[in-house]
Chains A and B, each alone.
Chain A
C-alpha cells in the first residue's frame, strides 16, 4: 500500500460575502476529504465556481482553511509556521493558469528562475549552467537566458514557470489549469512535458482542469467537484467508462466529442439550468435541483462519499 503524500480531511473554506446585519458566507469548499498518493496524478474537475482552485490553494496553504486539515507527508500543513512552513513551500508548489500574469515582466528569465533559490538561501556553484540545464529540461535553451517574459509565447512562458518550480526540486505540484490559456497544438506539448517530468523526478500532481479530455489524459484518478463538494472519485478509466453520480454522467454527456459519428450516437442526457450560488447552497444533495433522479430524501439529507466498488467513491443516495 502506497502511503498518501497528501491527505485532506473535512476541509472547508468559507469566504465572507458582505451582508449587513447577518454575515453571509460563500461556501467555496465545504467539507471535502481525499488522498493523493505519492507519484500519482489526481485530476480535479468541475465547472467554474465549484471550488477546485480554492482546494488547490488550501492544500498549499496559500489561504487558510475555515476548518479541516491537510497532511503533507504526515505533517499538518494548516499548523505549520516559520521554518517548517518555508521548508514546505520548497516541497510543494503551483503552476498557475495564466502565464501572462504569473511572471514578473521586469525580470529576465535567469532572474525569474534564480529567485526561488535566493528566497530559500540555496547556493549553486554555476548559476548560469544550473538555469541553462533547467531550460533544456523544459524545452528551452541558453539563448533564452537573458530575455524578458514579453518576448515569449504563452506556451513558452508556461515552460518558464515550470522551470522556476523545478529549480527547487519539489515533490508535489498543483497544476491549476496549466494549459487552458494555450492553443491545442501547444497544449499537447506542455502536457507531454509535464508527464515526462513527472516520471523523471517522481513528482506528484494535483491536476485541476475543467477540460475532461485533458484530465483523462493526465490523471491516474479523478475527483469530480460540484458546488464545494466532491461527488465522485475513481480511477480515470473507470470514471469515464462507468460514471455513477448523475452529475458526472451529465458532465461526460455534455463534452463535445471530436468525432462526428460518436457525437451523433452519444446519449442525450441533458441537464437543465446552471449551478446554483454557493452562497445559499440547496439543502440535502447540492445537485438535487438539477438532478433527473432526485427523490425527497435527496432534498433533505446530504449523501456521504461512499465506496461502492473498489476504489470508486460516490456521494449519491442512488447507491
Chain B
C-alpha cells in the first residue's frame, strides 16, 4: 500500500549510472536509475540475475565493488532532515554512516561472518567501532539481547560459538543481529533468505517484518522471488537489464501490472496455490549488458514491441498514483 503515511524521504537516488569496466568491455549495469525510499516503508527491488538489483543496493552505501564505478548520479541521504550526497562524502564520513545508520545484510551468511571469531565478538565489534556501547562487557550483554530478539535459541551459549558451529538459519540470524546492533535507520537486505529452506525463510521474513514495525526501521529488500515481494513490501521496483521498468505499490504491481516484463514475470511463476494448466514463459534470455539492445532493453523479448521501441528508450512515466512505467505503450 502506498499509504500517505510514508511521505518523508530517507534516500533519494537520482539519475544513477553504474558501469563495470571489464576486459570484455564496459558492462552498463545500471542506467538512468531514479527512485526514492521513504521513512518507515518496506521497499522492494525485484528482478532476475544480472538486472542490477544488488549493484543498486551497494551504490546506496557507495560500496560498488571493483571494477564497477558509479559514473554519474546522486544518492541523497536525509540525515536529521538535512540532505547529504553519499557519493560525495569522504571515507571517514562514510564510515560513520555505514554499519551504523545504513546496515547491510547479505545473501550468503557463511561468507559474511569471519570464521576465526565468535559470533558474539563480531556483533560487539560493530558496536564498539561506532561507540554505541561503552565497553566490551556491555557489548556482550547487548549481543545476548540482540540474539534473543532475532529468536536465536539459547543466546548466552551461542555468543561463544564460531560460525561453523551454527546452522545456516542461525548464521543468518547472527548476521541480522550485526545489522541491527546499532539500530540503523535503513536496513538493506540483499536476498536475505535465498540460501535458506522455506520453513526457516518464513521465520526470518516474519522477524524482519516485526523489526520494521517495532523499531521504525526502513527496509530495502532485494529479491528475485515474487512471493517474497507479495509478503514483504509496501512498494516495489521491477528491474530489467539495469533499468527500472515499473515502480508501484505492491497491490498495483500484482493486480494491475503495466509493463510487459512485469506481466510476463507474474505469469511465469508457478503459484503453489493454483492449479495451472500451462505456464507462459517469457521467450528468449536476458541481454548481454556490454552490448545492450538499443531503445527499450526489453524489446527483443517483448510481444508488443513496435518500431519506436527498437529506436528510442522509453521514459519512466506516472500512469496512476505512485505507479510508474517505462514503456512506449504507456508513454503517450
The answer to whether B226 touches A258 (Cβ under 8 A) is yes
Query: Taking chain A's interface residues, is the majority helix, strand, or loop, or is none over half, making it mixed?
Result: helix
Residue B114, interface by CB 8 Å: no
The answer to whether A183 touches B49 (Cβ under 8 A) is yes
The answer to whether A214 touches B270 (Cβ under 8 A) is yes
Q: Which of A127-166 contact B (CB under 8 A)?
A: 153, 155-156
- Tell which of A213, A251, A260, A273 touches B269, judged by Cβ atoms closer than 8 Å: A213
- In the bound complex, residues from chain B placing their C-beta under 8 Å from that of A187 are 268, 281
- Tell which of A213, A254, A260 touches B250, judged by Cβ atoms closer than 8 Å: A260
- Docked CA distance A316–B228 (Å): 30
**How far, in Å, is A77 (CB) from chain B's closest CB?**
30
**How far, in Å, is B300 (CB) from chain A's closest CB?**
13
- In the bound complex, residues from chain B placing their C-beta under 8 Å from that of A155 are 285
**How far, in Å, is B315 (CB) from chain A's closest CB?**
24
The answer to whether B229 touches A237 (Cβ under 8 A) is no
- Docked CA distance A276–B61 (Å): 38
Interface size, chain A (Cβ < 8 Å):
44
- In the bound complex, residues from chain A placing their C-beta under 8 Å from that of B151 are 272
Interface-located stretch among A55-63, A108-116, A169-177, A188-196: A188-196
- Docked CA distance A250–B254 (Å): 25
**How far, in Å, is B157 (CB) from chain A's closest CB?**
15
- In the bound complex, residues from chain A placing their C-beta under 8 Å from that of B227 are 213, 255-258, 263
Residue A294, interface by CB 8 Å: no
- In the bound complex, residues from chain B placing their C-beta under 8 Å from that of A263 are 227, 230-231
Residue B321, interface by CB 8 Å: no
Residue B36, interface by CB 8 Å: no
- In the bound complex, residues from chain A placing their C-beta under 8 Å from that of B201 are 254, 256
Q: Which of A220-257 contact B (CB under 8 A)?
A: 237, 240, 250-257
- Docked CA distance A134–B108 (Å): 38
Residue A47, interface by CB 8 Å: yes
Q: Please give the residue numbers on chain B whose beta carbons come within 8 Å of chain A beta carbons, in ascending order.
A: 48-49, 151, 153, 167, 169-170, 197-203, 205-206, 224-232, 250-251, 254, 264-266, 268-273, 275-276, 278-283, 285-286
- 3 residue pairs, one from A and one from B, having the closest CB atoms: A256-B227, A188-B281, A254-B202
Q: Please give the residue numbers on chain A whose beta carbons come within 8 Å of chain B beta carbons, in ascending order.
A: 47-48, 153, 155-156, 183-189, 191-192, 210-214, 216-217, 237, 240, 250-263, 268, 270-275
24 sampled A-B residue pairs with Cβ under 8 A: A153-B285, A183-B49, A185-B265, A188-B281, A191-B270, A210-B197, A216-B276, A217-B279, A250-B199, A252-B272, A254-B199, A255-B202, A255-B227, A256-B205, A256-B227, A256-B231, A257-B230, A257-B231, A257-B272, A258-B271, A259-B271, A260-B230, A272-B203, A274-B170
